[in-house]
Amino acid sequence: MVTSNRDLANWVDEVARLTRPDRVHWCDGSEDENRELISLMLGTGDLIELNQQTHPGCYLHRSDPSDVARVEHLTFVCTQDRDSAGPNNNWMDPGEARDKMKDLFSACMEGRTMYVLPYCMGPIASPLSRCGVEITDSPYVVANMRMMTRMGAPALERIEREGGFVKGLHSTGELDPERRFIVHFPDDLEIHSYGSGYGGNALLGKKCHALRIASYQARTEGWLAEHMLIVGVENPKGETHYIAGAFPSACGKTNLAMLIPPESYSGWKVWTIGDDICWMRIGDDGRLWAINPEAGFFGVAPGTSAKTNPNALAMLDRDAIFTNVAVTADNQPWWEGKDGQVPVKNWKGEDWAPGNGPAAHPNSRFTVPIAQCPSYSEQAEAPGGVPISAIIFGGRRASLVPLVLESKSWRHGVLLGASMASETTAAATGAVGQVRRDPMAMKPFCGYNFGDYWRHWLSFEGKASQLPRIFHVNWFRKNDEGRFMWPGFGENMRVIDWILRRCNDAVGARETAIGRLPDPADLNLSGIRTSPDALEELLAVDASAWRKELEEIGRYLDQFDDRTPPALRREQRAVADALSD
Ligand code: SAT
Ligand code: MN
């Protein structure tokens, strides 16, 4: 037996009997093991070597063209009753789901190696961290999980010490979209994923464990598992304040997490703790303390450039895996937005010429360890996490929603999060550019009924004495010509500056029906071309349009029937009433 944890040993045996692999390999996470896996994948074509002079240790993976994004319509939460999963999830009866998955997994690993990979979400020594074990037949998943989590021997030791762990079973299967399911059993802390080798469908530590299962655990244990970046913002005096921010997939979270302040902010620094997931707990001091459960970035490649995210570009020239990007004539990775080079082969490996459509897939990705990021914060390893001063919600909205506003209270902040909406992107399959409600950016990731989730959020008001202030931002406003009205990227520092001054009570705000807005004079615009007129529009409140929005929000909250906390409904009515005054 390879482990002293009986539950783990029995489960591995049981899975091997069901899936019938040729070999079982327990991953220790070592360099040697990684090297062997990479050479194996180079042999099978799972990985393609990129230019080792310009990009040492970098490889390209081309996924099946039918398997390029998360599949929300094939993702299920299997609680005992349908209501616990809520209208925000696809639901299947747990017994039925187990039978279905058993059929799919039956003998599916014949001729393959079954990898057993113990991992820890969060710093190994942190009491806030949680462990899991993923069983997979994909060496690509192993190589990615090694960067995305603390994977291998130290995680197994912690599991043996603690006992409990999340069980994730994954097989690439036949990659047939008709036989593809991502299924969660929150009551049993179990995940079954079949038929995809891509991203959040297959790297089970990420969305499946650290969000869907963890959010469910967090509710019973009194903490929060959120789809948020974490950054530290250091001012010229050397003081650092931490911010957590929730944005839907592919809305610039990674860019914000690695922001480089503009020239007029000399002496300011942004330190990266995480770009996607945040686990928060109330500390002894009544503040919320956060860790990033992940150890790597699985970021969207297109649009990453020296202008939009120089830090990301700098960390991508070594030891990274690229998925579905294009390549140049000298075999360097390429994607739309990468300047100064031209691709010759598209993401499918076909010859590419201008006019042939995008060369990199719009949801092509890079996987890289966080520690490689130039703005990496040492605090990312702090076992106690970092104290959060502000929570920012944001979405992609071409109209209506102002550049920034602050909530009137925690309760109003929860309403701002619950009513978040965004235009859809390529991170999930389906139509792109449609506005959909995406509460707290958790629509695809909350492992239980949103009504109960909002109740859980509201409950923090009575439990923590120094809660963060809550803000809403929108970097994506467009004018009548369809052009972005705000420069975005590094210039978002100006909005963060205002947010932090609010947190320190160093600046006033305009009270409006929808929240507190900056006085235009309080936003630092030195060095950018945003005109006073444009700024005025970015900070305007169109009462009649907002009244419609509030009606829509009311209808949205009603979808969750009596699970919607009455306090949230009251808050929505109070804003609607204020708009009518
Ligand atoms: O494919 S993932 O779910 O890991 C990435 C994302 O949607 O943000
Ligand atoms: Mn995400």
Residues 188-194: contacts with CB under 8 Å, at least 24 apart: 188/94, 189/164, 189/165, 189/213, 189/217, 190/166, 191/166, 191/167, 192/97, 192/101, 192/105, 192/168, 193/168, 193/169, 194/101, 194/104, 194/105, 194/108, 194/170
Q: Give me the catalytic one of 251, 278, 373, 446.
A: 251
Contact 332, 58 (CB under 8 A): no
Nearest-CA residue for atom 2 of ligand 1: 200
> Strand pairing partners for 193?
170, 182
pTM above 0.95, yes or no: yes
Ligand 1 pocket test, pick from 203, 209, 249 with the greatest ligand atom count within 8 Å of Cβ, gives 249
Nearest-5° angle of CA 64, CA 69, CA 70? 125
- Using CB distances shorter than 6 Å, the residues near ligand 1 are 70, 199-200, 206-207, 249, 298, 427
DSSP-H helix ranges across 54-93: 82-85
Atom of ligand 1 nearest to the CA of 199: 1
**Whole-number Å distance between alpha carbons of 326 and 345:** 6
Q: Does the annotation count 446 as an active-site position?
A: no
One digit per residue, the tens of pLDDT, for the chain of length 581 reads 589 999 999 999 999 999 999 999 999 999 999 999 999 999 999 999 999 999 999 999 999 999 999 999 999 999 999 999 999 999 999 999 999 999 999 999 999 999 999 999 999 999 999 999 999 999 999 999 999 999 999 999 999 999 999 999 999 999 999 999 999 999 999 999 999 999 999 999 999 999 999 999 999 999 999 999 999 999 999 999 999 999 988 788 999 999 999 999 999 999 999 999 999 999 999 999 999 999 999 999 999 999 899 999 999 999 999 999 999 999 999 999 998 899 999 999 999 999 989 999 999 999 999 999 999 999 999 999 999 999 999 999 999 999 999 999 999 999 999 999 998 877 788 877 788 999 999 999 999 999 999 999 999 999 999 999 999 999 999 998 989 999 999 999 999 999 999 999 999 999 999 999 999 999 999 999 999 899 999 999 999 999 999 999 999 999 999 999 999 999 999 999 999 98
Point out the ligand nearest to the CA of residue 199.
1
Phi, psi of 577 (to 5 degrees): -65, -45
